[in-house]
Amino acid sequence: MTTTHAIRFDQHGGPEVLQWREQELADPGPGQVRVRQEAIGLNFIDVYHRTGLYPQPLPGSLGGEAAGVIEAVGPGVEGFAVGDRVGYCTGAPGAYAQRRIVPVAPLIKLPDDIAFEVAAASMLKGLTAYYLLHRTRALKAGDVALFHAAAGGVGLIAGQMARSLGATLIGTAGSAAKCALALENGYAHAIDYAHDDFVARVKDLTAGRGVPVVYDSIGRDTWERSLACLQPFGLMVSFGNASGAVPPFKITDLAAAGSLYVTRPTLGTHMADPVVKQQMADALFALIRSGQVKIHINQRYPLAEAAQAHRDLEARKTIGSTVLLP
């Protein structure tokens, strides 16, 4: 048995339900490893798990992204050894911990030149941006798309990826400062949705045509207006619910709006194949290594202060990526 500390919660609710607790870890079982976690990624899905939007068994734990070092391996583990630098960004919640037992299936091997904080700040967000721009709707040079939350962790990486592809991204953000940051990170245009009608601005920027694809992680507050930004046969990519769940809608509305398409992809599905998972990660790390993608870690919190990190995230006070440090 190994003693560690972790964030746990006994009921769904606000940040105040998060508690710092001591717990005992058994030795890793078959197909498992014990990871000493050096950095943990903060993501909005953690809020969904805490509030119960995505219900979790109680008592519960949070976090799906972390980077660290393997301390012990269980029976039958192949391809990983004690001392390996690893990360993960899919699988069951539980990353808000100093140490954790993890199955080998979601593990990603980290190159020596990718720091733990960079890995923890970039895997979920960077691989999300990667599957959105390379796999869900593969952008190419000359393409135009709308991307909400342009100054968020996923958004800043997506802007840089789009620039590397020669595509044009129109971004939305909630302040002039965040719009400026988006423009610094690959966006051709940035719309301050707090002051401007982003539908009208998108139509102006596209000579009234609209865009062929919208990437929307906001959900309820932007859903109908995002659809209004699409040109006929356009694709609505709904990949998050930062403002709340998308309300029920009639599928015939898609016909009336121009034979639109809607998809709700997940990172887990795109990374289900272990070979594809490592290929995607290696492609992301190559972009980081080359300088084409820079990871902006603008907030760091002690893991024990995860509740405050959640308050700041939900208040949209954070910019770029945030890591929790055990």
Q: Model confidence over 187-218: pLDDT tens digits?
A: 999 999 989 999 999 999 999 999 999 999 99
- The one-letter code for the residue type at 88 is Y
Q: What residues make up the domain containing 216?
A: 141-264
Tokens 């009608």 found at: 197
Q: 190 and 279 share a domain?
A: no
Q: 188 and 248 share a domain?
A: yes
Q: Looking at 219, 249, 264, which one is the last position of a domain?
A: 264
pLDDT at 271 over 80: yes
233: domain CATH number is: 3.40.50.720
Strands of the sheet with 211-216, listed across from one edge: 189-192, 168-173, 144-147, 211-216, 230-238, 261-263
Helices 306-314, 44-51: inter-axial angle, 10-degree rounding: 100
Q: What is the pLDDT of residue 319?
A: 81
pLDDT at 312 over 90: yes
Q: Picking from 274-278, 279-283, 310-314, 319-323, which range would have the lowest pLDDT averaged per residue?
A: 319-323
pTM given for the model: 0.87
- Partnered with residue 4 across adjacent β-strands are 23
- Count of structural domains, the chain: 2
Query: Where does the pLDDT of residue 301 fall: very low under 50, low under 70, confident under 90, or very high at 90 and above?
Result: very high
108: domain CATH number is: 3.90.180.10
Mean pLDDT, residues 5-23 taken together = 97
Q: 245 and 316 share a domain?
A: no
Tokens of 317: 């006070």
Q: What is the pLDDT of residue 280?
A: 96
